[in-house]
């Protein structure tokens, strides 16, 4: 033990532990608590859980009910909130797929390039990532505008005759999200592919497979762990994305992060904003649990 | 022949994706020098947007605030990340270890909106109880530190895991006290990772809009908040000028850091080689 004395040990554990309890656990518990109370009146944004008049503790499920149901006994799952959740998941899925299609060959070719140029290529992938995310998203606003560079280029090539609206549509949303999250896909894929034994491919060729078939039957299955890791790294942050829909999306493209924001600051409905956030955490925990299950399983099968 | 096409396709794909990654940066650099407000046609070279940038008090104030916030959050994150990584790597068993590792890692996957909202609720609660702190710089630093610590921890943790424990044990056997072992043996070995954790937390903080939007008070706006406000209103080449300056400085820092790391590695290799050679000559002399 580097710090063997019990006092030193207690100090080293205690400092980060206390910090996390105060700034992570406690806020989460407050969030959970407020999601179960009523909206307050006058100045206080929410009512306490303990009713001083009756002396009863009551959990209110109204906030959750209003997320899933229109009105008291309306149809299930037909609210604007559910639409926003589904849209967020859908964008996250599309972005992850696009990143994979674009990023897999990219990572593959970097992994197969000369070892001397690999660090420089990786540095070039990382560099945009270190410059402001916000500014890079903002630039797409100009690039994809009706009179923007892309429309001008397409018109100069004669592919279109008048500007196509790309900004504030699904196109600009997906371009922006794919652009921002591509490095998150490329880096785990690269880390996986660079370790691969390319003699296995040679063996497949010697046995008479076509390059395409060899790729599907040898390379892809061997890089499964990298694909899943990259997919998670893109999918999870995409679900809660806030900036990209705010800058590149129209009113049609509102995602759940924005809905939480509006509920908090525009409607001033703290309990409902909290309930929406709690459901959002639930949405992210499910794919994460599946991921951990998968990695645990593959680690087991390796042993 | 087949090999040739494969290689050509590979080069083309790399070039196309790099073009995609660098197009927005190129776009902002070019149009920051434009002589008019529009960003669809280059009408002539001018430095007027750089001039406008230095006069824009919102951007300048936001920049200094962001530098302060990012430095504070970076330092706090690096210290806490080192503590947390040390705990996770060295203390295999203690009460509440599962909760601890869960809490350190959770901010990595939590949506920023949820982190921002729950911290805002906490700050409001604390303020209602103690009358302090006002929402502003301090609360933003706290929020950024939570995020920076999680990312920094991953970096320091992987370095600590690679480190050879034997040298620490050797120092202990020679009578060094635990605290001496940490500062004289462990620290020099992980200092690169701690610096990387600082840089990562600094960048995250300098770049963050969402948490700052939740936790800042009236009149307190970090640079990303100012830019976000402008960006929603339409074209503003002043932002392109700010972006160009940022791109240039980040490029310099990244290149400088990688040169430093390369030199450090080479130095260590040289020392190792020298030590091995000395050993060999000593053996031969026998």
* Contact by Cβ (8 Å): B216, B138: no
Q: Is residue B90 part of a domain?
A: yes
In a domain? residue A105: yes
Assigned domain for B175 exists: yes
Q: What is the CA radius of gyration of chain B?
A: 25
For the residues B130-155, what does the mean pLDDT come to? 90
* Mean pLDDT over the full length of chain B: 89
Question: Rounded to 5 degrees, what angle do the CA atoms B76, B80, B85 make?
Answer: 145
How many Å apart are CA A280 and CA B208, to the nearest integer? 20
Report the CATH number at residue A146.
1.10.3720.10
Which chain A residue has the Cα nearest residue B144? A23
Interchain CB contact of A123 with B (< 8 Å):
yes
| Domain count within chain B | 1
Q: Residue A299: is its pLDDT beyond 80? A: no
Number of Cβ within a 10 Å radius of residue A178:
22
In a domain, A9, yes or no: no
Does B4 fall in a domain?
no
**From B112, B228, B242, residue closest to A240, measured CB to CB:** B112
In chain B, pLDDT over 90 holds for what percent of residues? 53
Report d(CA A268, CA A277) in Å as an integer.
14
Q: Output Rg (C-alpha) for chain A, integer angstroms.
A: 25
Is residue A204 included in any domain, yes or no?
yes
> Is residue B277 a part of any domain in this protein?
no
Q: Is A239 on the interface with B (CB under 8 A)?
A: yes
Contact assessment for residue A92 and residue A180, using Cβ atoms and an 8 Å cutoff: no
Contact A110 B182 (CB under 8 A): no
Q: Which domain holds residue B167?
A: 55-236
**Nearest-CA distance A149 → chain B (Å):** 6
CATH code of the domain covering residue B71: 1.10.3720.10
In a domain, A66, yes or no: no
B229 is a domain residue: yes
Q: Is residue B153 part of a domain?
A: yes
The string of pLDDT tens digits covering residues A121-169 is 998 998 888 888 899 999 999 999 988 889 988 998 988 888 889 999 9
Instruction: Kindly state whether residue A55 falls inside one of the protein's structural domains.
Output: no
Distance (Å) from the alpha carbon of A131 to chain B's nearest alpha carbon = 6
Chain B: nearest CA to A296, how far in angstroms? 16
CB contact under 8 A, A132 and B251: no
Q: Please give the residue that has the higher pLDDT: either B124 or B78.
A: B78
Query: Is residue B136 in a domain?
Result: yes
Closest CA of chain B from A246, distance in Å: 8
Chain B residues with beta carbon closer than 8 angstroms to that of A4: 178
B83, B94, B104: residue with CB nearest A15? B83
Given a contact cutoff of 8 angstroms between Cβ atoms, the answer to whether B257 and B265 are in contact is no
Q: Can you name the residues that pair with A50 across neighbouring β-strands?
A: A57
pLDDT tops 80 at residue A298: no
Q: Domain count of chain A?
A: 1
Domain-embedded: residue A44: no
Structural domain for A247, as ranges: 72-302
Specify if A279 maps to a domain: yes
Using a CB-CB cut-off of 8 Å, the residues of chain A touching B91 are: 9, 12-13
Alpha helices in A21-79 (DSSP H): 26-34, 62-68
Domain-located, residue A116? yes
**Residue at B5 is within a domain:** no
Do the Cβ atoms of A128 and B22 come within 8 Å?
yes
The pTM score is 0.87
Highest mean pLDDT among B14-18, B122-126, B165-169, B215-219: B14-18
- The confidence score (pLDDT) of residue A302 equals 63
């Amino acid at each position: 033990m580097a710090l063997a004395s019990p006092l030193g040990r207690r100090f080293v554990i205690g400092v980060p532990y206390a910090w996390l309890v105060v700034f992570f656990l406690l806020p989460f518990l407050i969030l959970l608590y407020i999601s179960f109370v009523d909206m307050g009146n006058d100045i206080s944004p929410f009512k306490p859980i303990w009713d001083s008049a009756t002396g009863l503790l009551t959990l209110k499920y109204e906030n959750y009910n209003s997320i899933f149901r229109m009105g008291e006994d309306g149809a299930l799952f037909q609210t604007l909130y559910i639409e926003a959740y589904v849209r967020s998941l859908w964008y996250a899925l599309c972005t992850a797929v696009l990143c994979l299609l674009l990023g897999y060959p990219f990572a593959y070719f970097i992994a197969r390039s000369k070892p001397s140029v690999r660090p420089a290529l990786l540095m070039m992938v990382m560099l945009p990532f270190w410059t402001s995310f916000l500014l890079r998203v903002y630039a797409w606003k100009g690039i994809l505008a009706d009179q923007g560079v892309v429309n001008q280029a397409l018109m100069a090539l004669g592919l279109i005759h008048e500007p196509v609206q790309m900004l504030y549509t699904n196109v600009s949303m997906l371009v922006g999200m794919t652009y921002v999250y591509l490095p998150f896909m490329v880096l785990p894929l690269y880390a996986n592919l660079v370790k691969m034994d390319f003699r296995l491919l040679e063996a497949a060729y010697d046995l008479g497979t076509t390059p395409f078939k060899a790729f599907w039957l040898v390379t892809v299955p061997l890089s499964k762990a990298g694909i899943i890791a990259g997919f998670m790294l893109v999918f999870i942050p995409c679900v809660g994305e806030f900036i990209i829909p705010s800058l590149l999306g129209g009113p049609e493209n509102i995602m759940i992060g924005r809905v939480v924001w509006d509920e908090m600051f525009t409607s001033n409905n703290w309990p409902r904003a909290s309930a929406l956030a709690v459901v959002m955490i639930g949405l992210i925990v499910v794919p994460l649990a599946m991921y951990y299950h998968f990695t645990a399983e593959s680690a087991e099968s390796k042993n | 022949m087949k090999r040739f096409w494969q290689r050509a396709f590979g080069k083309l794909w790399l070039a196309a994706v790099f073009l995609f990654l660098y197009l927005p940066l190129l776009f902002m650099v070019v149009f920051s020098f434009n002589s008019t407000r529009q960003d669809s046609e280059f009408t002539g070279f001018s430095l007027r947007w750089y001039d406008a940038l230095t006069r824009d008090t919102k951007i300048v104030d936001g920049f200094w605030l962001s530098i302060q916030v990012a430095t504070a959050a970076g330092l706090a994150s690096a210290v806490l990340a080192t503590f947390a990584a040390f705990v996770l790597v060295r203390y295999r068993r203690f009460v509440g270890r599962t909760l601890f590792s869960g809490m350190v890692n959770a901010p990595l996957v939590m949506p920023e909106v949820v982190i921002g909202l729950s911290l805002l609720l906490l700050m409001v609660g604390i303020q209602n109880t103690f009358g302090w702190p006002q929402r502003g710089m301090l609360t933003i630093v706290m929020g950024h530190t939570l995020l920076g610590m999680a990312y920094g921890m991953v970096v320091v943790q992987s370095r600590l895991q690679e480190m050879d424990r034997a040298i620490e044990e050797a120092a202990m056997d020679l009578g060094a006290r635990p605290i001496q072992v940490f500062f004289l043996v462990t620290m020099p070995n992980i200092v690169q990772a701690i610096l990387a954790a600082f840089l990562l937390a600094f960048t995250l903080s300098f770049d963050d809009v969402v948490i700052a939007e939740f936790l800042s008070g009236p009149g307190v706006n970090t640079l990303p908040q100012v830019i976000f406000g402008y960006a929603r209103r339409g074209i503003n080449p002043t932002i392109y000028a700010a972006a160009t300056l940022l791109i240039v400085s980040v490029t310099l820092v990244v290149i400088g850091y990688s040169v430093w790391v390369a030199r450090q590695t080479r130095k260590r290799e040289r020392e190792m080689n020298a030590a091995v050679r000395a050993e060999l000559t000593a053996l031969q002399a026998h």
